[in-house]
Amino acid sequence: MKRALVTVNAIAVGATLAYLGWLLADALRARQPWAITCYDCKACTARCVLGLDPQGFVSAALAGSGDVYVYATNVRLPVRRALEIDPEMLVTVADRHLTAREAAAALGPDAELVTFKMRARDAARVCFRCGACEKGCGLRLPLLRLIAQLRGDAGNEWAAHAP
């Protein structure tokens, strides 16, 4: 019995170390090793008046792609503009989540809508860069630098293209 318990513990520790190693490898590949320290507390998200999810930006960094969809729950824009940015972004219409393409068919191009999820690189472009999220992060992770990278201001390649 004791021996079985030791084996189970060893497997659990091994699996945990393998998972951490996989996360670290991703973070290093995206050249954002600090990203692995984010513990998903969402304190940053709670501070964003646009409803953007900076933790989602961190996930995009870990994935090495600005095409990861992140929450953006309070950005108001005309349907026409949403279509220009990304027809597949999710928007909220009467408590339902539709793509911008579906919203255009239902409401027409001139209606105003509220976003729900956007690609990380698009969300970074509507961000005010006020810094409230970074100030709210207990680890002081460099969220503004990450947002600049996602916007393409820092000339990084991973933000603009899928892997």
- Quote the least distance from Cβ 129 to ligand SF4, whole Å: 5
State how far Cα 145 lies from the chain centre. Answer: 14
Q: Which is nearer to ligand SF4, 100 or 141 (CB)?
A: 141
Q: Which is nearer to ligand SF4, 101 or 125 (CB)?
A: 125
| Span 128-147, contacts to ligand SF4 by CB under 6 A | 128-133, 136-137, 139, 141
Q: Is 25 exposed, middle or buried (0-12, 13-18, 19+ CB in 10 A)?
A: exposed
Report the sign of the C-alpha dihedral through residues 145, 151, 154, 157, in that order: positive
- Both tokens assigned to 71: 């929450």
- Quote the least distance from Cβ 17 to ligand SF4, whole Å: 22
Give the number of residues in contact with ligand SF4, rule: CB under 6 A: 25
**Around Cβ 26, how many Cβ atoms within 10 Å?**
17
Q: Which is nearer to ligand SF4, 74 or 111 (CB)?
A: 74
State whether residue 49 is helix, strand or coil. Answer: coil
Q: Which is nearer to ligand SF4, 22 or 128 (CB)?
A: 128
CA distance linking residue 159 with residue 61, whole number of Å: 8
Place of tokens 């969220």: 143
CA distance linking residue 84 with residue 132, whole number of Å: 28
Stretch that binds ligand SF4, among 25-33, 84-92, 96-104, 126-134 (CB under 6 A): 126-134
| Span 20-59, contacts to ligand SF4 by CB under 6 A | 38-44, 47-48, 50, 52, 54-55, 58
Q: Is 105 in the site for ligand SF4 (CB under 6 A)?
A: no
Residues that bind ligand SF4 (CB under 6 A): 38-44, 47-48, 50, 52, 54-55, 58, 127-133, 136-137, 139, 141
